[in-house]
């Protein structure tokens, strides 16, 4: 089964993971790590490597991060050469639920595409006029 690592600023990732695990009743091979831009990149990379090494990554690691170009992204991208991982940016609850639901059914590269597509499908813009008609 593909491992999942959630990397975010602040407590967002840990709280998102707790919520998703509560819904899915799944806590196997999943980790979260909060990163702070106040730390230097070598310290941050060390923390990310520790989390990656704690996971069973035989089938790969899906790394879900909060912001493209942010601390989590800049910390993790250089490690792609060392680990079998796919990174998907813009982590949200539907994305994490999709990863947990599908990670045992498909290879890593397909899972990354599915998670991204599923997350996009859950974005809607509504106004009072849309729902009151």
Please give the pLDDT value at position 27: 78
- pTM reported for the whole predicted model: 0.90
Per domain, the residue ranges of the chain are 3-132
Please give the pLDDT value at position 126: 83
Q: Render the chain in DSSP notation, one character per residue.
A: --EEEEEEETTHHHHHHHHHHHHHT--TTEEEEEE-TTS-HHHHHHHHHHHHHHS--TT-EEEEES-TTSHHHHHHGGGGGTS-EEEEES--HHHHHHHHHHTTTS-HHHHHHHHHHHHHHT-----HHHHH-
Spell out the per-residue pLDDT of the chain, length 133, in tens. 999 999 998 889 999 999 998 998 877 899 999 988 788 888 999 999 999 999 988 999 999 999 999 999 999 999 999 999 999 999 999 999 999 999 999 999 999 999 999 999 998 888 877 776 5
Please give the pLDDT value at position 107: 97
CATH, range 3-132: 3.40.50.510
Which of 101, 119, 123, 133 lies closest to 21 in space, CA to CA? Answer: 101
Residue 6, strand partner residues:
32, 64
């Amino acid at each position: 089964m593909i491992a999942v690592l959630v990397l975010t600023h602040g407590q967002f990732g840990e709280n998102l993971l707790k919520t998703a695990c509560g819904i899915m009743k799944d806590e196997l091979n999943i980790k979260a790590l909060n990163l702070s831009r106040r730390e230097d990149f070598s310290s941050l990379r060390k923390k990310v490597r520790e989390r990656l090494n704690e996971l069973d990554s035989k089938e790969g690691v899906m790394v879900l991060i909060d912001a493209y170009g942010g601390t989590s992204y800049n910390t993790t991208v250089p490690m792609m050469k060392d680990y079998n991982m796919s990174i998907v940016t813009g982590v949200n609850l539907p994305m994490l639920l999709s990863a947990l639901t599908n990670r045992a059914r498909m290879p890593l590269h397909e899972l990354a595409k599915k998670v991204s597509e599923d997350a996009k499908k859950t974005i809607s813009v509504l106004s009072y006029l849309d729902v009151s008609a």
